[in-house]
Amino acid sequence: MTIKSSLPYQPRLTVEITQEQLDGLRKHLPWGTQKAVMGALIDELIYVCETHGTTFIAAILAGAIKPREIMPILDPDKETA
């Protein structure tokens, strides 16, 4: 039996994360902002892959590039924790 919906199809992405990752997201992203943040991150990843290939993703997975190390470069006057 197939149930038809009048709502348009909305793709979803489901990934497993650790409890620590979930706790961190809940701590730092107010309710309702996760979709916007994840959407922005996905858009940036797609752009980087389309313009530079998958080297960037490989570098992140290998630990060669970390956003936490890039942020002080963008704001050198701000102290890091």
pLDDT at 79 over 70: no
CA dist 10 and 54 (Å) reads 26
Q: Do the domain assignments include residue 54? A: yes
Q: Is residue 24 part of a domain?
A: no
- pLDDT tens for 21-72 read 999 999 999 989 999 999 999 999 999 999 989 898 899 899 998 888 877 7
Q: What is the DSSP string of 42-73?
A: HHHHHHHHHHHTTHHHHHHHHTS--HHHHHHH
Q: Does 27 fall in a domain? A: no
- Domain of residue 49: give its range: 36-75
Whether 37 and 43 have beta carbons less than 8 Å apart is answered as no
Q: Total structural domains in the chain?
A: 1
pTM score, whole prediction: 0.70
